Amino acid sequence: MTTTKKYLCGLEKSARIHIPAEQKTAIIERFGVEPAPYEWTEQDISVQISNYISCGEFVKTVKDNGNLYHLPEGVDF
């Protein structure tokens, strides 16, 4: 899944929030393309957008099935 302007507009309406233009640009730059060979899930994007809007930065690690935090190989946050 990737993020588009249309997706962000829908998110703003459904969550009743406002995302400033500069944050939208940063979000689209980050989630506008898949980090091959991985794919973003809707949950990945939602959590990252929520964190970015609330604290101004993306979460820098992800959780795998073993509950260990790491960066997927080839993904640079």
pLDDT in tens, 20-75: 898 899 999 988 988 888 888 888 888 888 888 887 767 555 555 555 444 555 55
CA distance 59 to 55: 10
pTM above 0.85, yes or no: no
Domain boundaries, the chain: 5-70
Q: Secondary structure of the chain in the HEC alphabet? A: CCCCHHHHHHHHHHHCCCCCHHHHHHHHHHHCCCCCCCCCCHHHHHHHHHHHHHHCCCCCCEECCCCCEECCCCCCC
